[in-house]
Amino acid sequence: MLRLPKWFFKWSEDNPTDIIGPGILAGTVGTAAAIAAIVVAYDNPYRTTDYQTGPRGIGMAVSKFVKDNPQYDAYEESYVAFTRPEAVEGEPTAAEAYGETVVAFGDMPQSAFDKLQEAMSAWVGTPVVLYDNGEVDATTLAITENCVEATRYLNTDWDTHNLASEGRGVNCYTCHRGQPTPPGSWLKAGVVNSAAEGWAAIQNRLLAYDHAGTTAFVDKYTQSEFTSLPVDAVEKFLLDGNSIKVHDLESRVDQQPGDPTWQDAERTFTLMNHQSNALDVGCVYCHNTRAFYDATQVTPQWSITTLAQQMSIDINQTYYEPRSEVLGRESAKVNCMTCHMEVVSPLNGRDMVAEWPELASPIE
């Protein structure tokens, strides 16, 4: 065992030295240098990109990590566009070839009609037939016709939001994403059981859609957005058309949570969470958070979102709720997630009607 001489201990006692402080400093400097070298060599993994949504200087900006690639949309990448065949001289129309049972696009040349059926089948993940070929039942044809009318309605009467005239628009794939039931669709909440009705029946529930016509705890997109808030917000606001404007400056201290204004306020929180998740944005995308109630301090996106809410109400009431009678069960309905699927512009603004302008023609 090594024994140090007594003079060493005497010298150390007479000349104390702080080695901890310099050691920490050297370690900190070394670590910082190593991190800087990694950033230079491999780029900053936590670099952000900012989207200004309101006036400068008040923090109204949406920030996202570049590593998450906020513009990437896997659905847009996997979308298949079907090229329209050129019409042959003397070629019959679909109506001439298939008779009066054609439910839509009867004036289209037969070859284009056949290709559109092929495209629609791919877009919805199940065979689509636009006429009675002896193998499809009347209910299926009625649903197909209803879907076509809804698509054309969205591209014409709601062109101010869907922008078909500006090279965007919607087709079957916008909602269906290659699946028979759109992955972002929803059903009414209903009650858990006969003993849980009213307000208790719609809170503290993780309600999702399993794409097979029933509710289950399986989907990424829940109607309560993974909170204890009400699960019937989209039903009340985007189907029934209830007013979302519940904010005022009156005190609620003396009122109980059972007051309808409290209930609608909680539903509004659910709807706002839903819209934020559907577009992958925050509150400041539409609002100035110092005054949510003041419509004079909102961003232009607020008007676009308000228009989208009215569009959802209209399309649900006009097409998807009445479809329940045809199906004999509740029909899936649309909300913001149905089309957007976590990007601001569905499918990054891809032209969905370029090859098939009939999808954006007025309903006769």
Annotated binding residues for heme: 161, 172, 175-176, 272, 283, 286-287, 336, 339-340
Q: Which amino acid is at 164?
A: A
Question: Does residue 335 contact residue 312 with C-beta atoms inside 8 Å?
Answer: yes
CA distance 315 to 323: 11
Residues contacting residue 236 through CB under 8 Å, at least 6 positions apart: 242, 264, 267
Best CA proximity match to 230, nearest among 208, 258, 199: 199
- Helix locations, the chain, DSSP H: 6-14, 20-42, 74-78, 94-98, 110-124, 138-156, 159-162, 172-176, 233-238, 260-279, 300-315, 323-327, 336-340
CA distance 72 to 17: 57
CA distance 218 to 220: 7
Q: Which amino acid is at 243?
A: S
Question: Binding site residues, as ranges?
Answer: 161, 172, 175-176, 272, 283, 286-287, 336, 339-340
For residue 165, what are the CA distances in angstroms to 69, 104, 158, 352?
29, 21, 11, 11
CA distance 150 to 318: 9
Best CA proximity match to 97, nearest among 109, 115, 89, 88: 109
Helix/strand/coil percent split, the chain, to 5:
45, 5, 50
For residue 286, what are the CA distances in angstroms to 61, 124, 272, 339?
10, 32, 10, 19
